Amino acid sequence: MTRQKTIAKEFTLAGKGLHTGHDVRMTFKPACAGDGVRFLRTDIAGHPCMKLGDLALITGADAGRYSALKNDAAVIYTVEHLVSALAGLGIDNITLEMDGDEVPGLDGSALEYVRALKAAGIVDLDAEKIFWEIKEPLCVSKDGASVMIVPASDFRVSYALEYPHPLLKQSLTVTVTPATYETEIAPCRTFCLKDEADALLARGLGQGANTVNTLVFGPEGVVGNSLRFADEAARHKALDCIGDLFLLGLHLKGHVFAFKSGHNLNRELLKKIAEQKKKYEARRELFKVEYKPGASLDVQGIMKVIPHRYPFLLVDRILEMESGKRAVAIKNVTMNEAFFQGHFPVKPVMPGVLMLEAMAQVAAVTLLSTPELLGKIGFYMSVDGVRFRKIVSPGDQLVMEVEITKSRSRIAHAKGVCKVDGQLVCEAEMGFAFGE
């Protein structure tokens, strides 16, 4: 089990906001499992709280120069660098108290946050980390820029940068882990073109920025500074993307492909991810069955777990079940079965392949009633060792005993037997794959 994390001890950082130039003091405090990442404005009466995961609080403005959180009159600007550091280090729960309206800009990257968080100590909590695994591709695009995310077993970001400057045509791909984040992403500073810097200042932004904490690209190259990486700008865009997507409040498994995207498009993708999550969680709830070990499960309960319906639902009742391990079920074979109309109608015999299907359905109920597979669909992947021992006729009660021999996140194997009056009529080994 991958555990949720927080910090071991409290610490404080202070600095100026990159855009407002306001001085701010920020205190980082450990939090309990399930508390999430919470910002509190201690300089405002009532200490208004803004918690990651509440999409109604997420905002941004000024041509997509930053991401912000807003709770009525309370606002916190430019949260993405700090939030990116939390995501990169795998921190799930922390309380962030601040006496101003913008997160400290520090050196314009996430490196000082990473160093301070690690110095405080990152510790495990007694709760499982919450991931959202992308189920199907999602994409947003506008004005020639795009960002999409596709299913993957880990979290990866591929970013392609294309600015009207010879040094700003860059691309990279990084698999985000605490180690890769600290060394390859966190040190990369925010940047802009020289004419963009002048325009930002004219609009009252960038008041805390300078050529130390911001890479300013002029006609001759970087103004008054030097690069930490040849592709530092693209790496910083990946840093921003990681932070913007962690505003959802949980860790992702998926591969992000971004082309010229910024905060606005990142947040649009975040909304689509939230919609996908809501849709699939509603589906999981639809299939959820309150099952007590040792109890029976009737046909209504079975239909909540697997999508099969009459005339292809071949299980009448689960007599007993250990979710994910074993089950015993019955199928009452009657003359009214649809398949008897064409399968030896003069001398009705239950087709052997339907006995295999019935065992597979029992195995599917056993597997899909577990929390990790709830709401998925099981597909036959293989059948081996099939033996048919006796004929099954109308009036027989088919008793199916299934044992799960192997189960992983996407595949499983099971052994099954069918009996009538205690005598073996069919047996097989079955393999399954799971999808949405």
Instruction: Identify the pLDDT of residue 284.
Output: 66
Q: Is 192 helix (H, G, I), strand (E, B) or coil?
A: strand
Q: From 420, 289, 423, 283, select the one nearest 364 (Cα to Cα).
A: 289
pTM, two decimal places: 0.72
Same domain flag for 143 and 32: yes
Structural domain ending residue among the three candidates 254, 285, 316 = 285
Instruction: Tell me which of 81, 236, 263, 308 is the catalytic residue.
Output: 263
CATH assignment at residue 360: 3.10.129.10
Q: Is residue 70 part of a domain?
A: yes
DSSP 17: B
Name the more confident of 97 and 284.
Answer: 97
C-alpha Rg value of the chain to the nearest Å? 28
Instruction: Identify the pLDDT of residue 26.
Output: 97
Q: Is the pLDDT of residue 269 over 60?
A: yes
Task: Give the residue ranges of DSSP H helices in 263-351.
Answer: 263-287, 299-305
Query: What is the DSSP annotation of 56-117?
Result: GGEE--TTTT--EEEETTEEEB--HHHHHHHHHHT---EEEEESSSB-B-TTSSSHHHHHHH
Instruction: Give CA–CA dist 355/349, Å, rounded.
Output: 11
pLDDT band at 414, cuts 50/70/90?
very high
Q: Is residue 89 part of a domain?
A: yes
Q: Is residue 290 part of a domain?
A: no
pLDDT band at 405, cuts 50/70/90?
very high
Q: Is the pLDDT of residue 204 over 70?
A: no
Instruction: Identify the pLDDT of residue 62.
Output: 55
Structural domain ending residue among the three candidates 285, 320, 352 = 285
Instruction: Identify the pLDDT of residue 296.
Output: 78
What is the separation, in whole angstroms, between the first and last Cα of the chain?
Answer: 23
Instruction: Identify the pLDDT of residue 273.
Output: 97
Q: Is the pLDDT of residue 288 over 70?
A: no
Q: Is residue 292 part of a domain?
A: no
> Residues 366-375: pLDDT tens digits?
988 887 787 7
Q: Is residue 182 part of a domain?
A: yes
pLDDT band at 343, cuts 50/70/90?
confident
CATH assignment at residue 124: 3.30.1700.10
Same domain flag for 272 and 332: no
Tokens of 273: 């991810």
Same domain flag for 238 and 369: no
Average pLDDT (117-125) is 98
Instruction: Give CA–CA dist 330/319, Å, rounded.
Output: 7
Q: Is the pLDDT of residue 198 over 90?
A: no
Instruction: Identify the pLDDT of residue 287.
Output: 56
Same domain flag for 83 and 160: yes
Amino acid at position 25, single letter: R
Residue 343 annotated among the catalytic residues of the structure: yes
Tokens of 255: 């591969």
Structural domain ending residue among the three candidates 285, 314, 347 = 285
pLDDT band at 281, cuts 50/70/90?
confident
Structural domains in the chain (count): 2
The domain containing residue 132 runs over which residues? 3-285
pLDDT band at 289, cuts 50/70/90?
low
Same domain flag for 276 and 382: no
Instruction: Identify the pLDDT of residue 285.
Output: 66
Same domain flag for 12 and 68: yes
Exposure of 436 by Cβ count < 10 A (0-12 exposed, 13-18 middle, 19+ buried)? exposed
Q: Is the pLDDT of residue 286 over 70?
A: no
Instruction: Give CA–CA dist 427/388, Å, rounded.
Output: 7
Residue 81 annotated among the catalytic residues of the structure: no
Instruction: Identify the pLDDT of residue 60.
Output: 77
Average pLDDT, the chain: 91
Same domain flag for 276 and 352: no
Instruction: Identify the pLDDT of residue 67.
Output: 94
Same domain flag for 24 and 139: yes
Q: Is 226 helix (H, G, I), strand (E, B) or coil?
A: coil
Q: Is residue 275 part of a domain?
A: yes
Residue 171 main-chain phi, psi, to 5 deg: -155, 155
Name the more confident of 198 and 419.
Answer: 419
* Helices (runs of H) and strands (runs of E) counted in the chain: 8, 25
Q: Is residue 293 part of a domain?
A: no
Q: From 59, 63, 106, 99, select the one nearest 81 (Cα to Cα).
A: 106
pLDDT band at 277, cuts 50/70/90?
very high
* Range among 156-170, 171-185, 221-235, 397-411 with highest mean pLDDT value: 171-185
Q: Is the pLDDT of residue 302 over 60?
A: yes
**Minimum mean pLDDT among 17-31, 217-231, 278-292, 343-357: which range?**
278-292
Same domain flag for 272 and 144: yes
Q: Is the pLDDT of residue 295 over 70?
A: no
Q: Is the pLDDT of residue 259 over 90?
A: yes
Instruction: Give CA–CA dist 77/104, Å, rounded.
Output: 10
Q: Is the pLDDT of residue 255 over 70?
A: yes
Instruction: Identify the pLDDT of residue 19.
Output: 84
Q: Is the pLDDT of residue 42 over 90?
A: yes
Q: Is the pLDDT of residue 184 over 90?
A: yes
Average pLDDT (327-346) is 88
> Residues 126-142: pLDDT tens digits?
999 999 999 889 999 99
Q: Is the pLDDT of residue 316 over 90?
A: yes
Same domain flag for 307 and 278: no
Same domain flag for 320 and 419: yes
Q: Is the pLDDT of residue 423 over 70?
A: yes
CA distances from 334 to 86, 328, 331, 424 (A): 61, 20, 9, 19
Q: Are 330 and 317 in contact (CB under 8 A)?
A: yes
Q: Is the pLDDT of residue 238 over 70?
A: yes
* Range among 194-208, 291-305, 410-424 with highest mean pLDDT value: 410-424
pLDDT band at 301, cuts 50/70/90?
confident
Instruction: Identify the pLDDT of residue 57.
Output: 93
Same domain flag for 113 and 231: yes
Q: Is residue 366 part of a domain?
A: yes
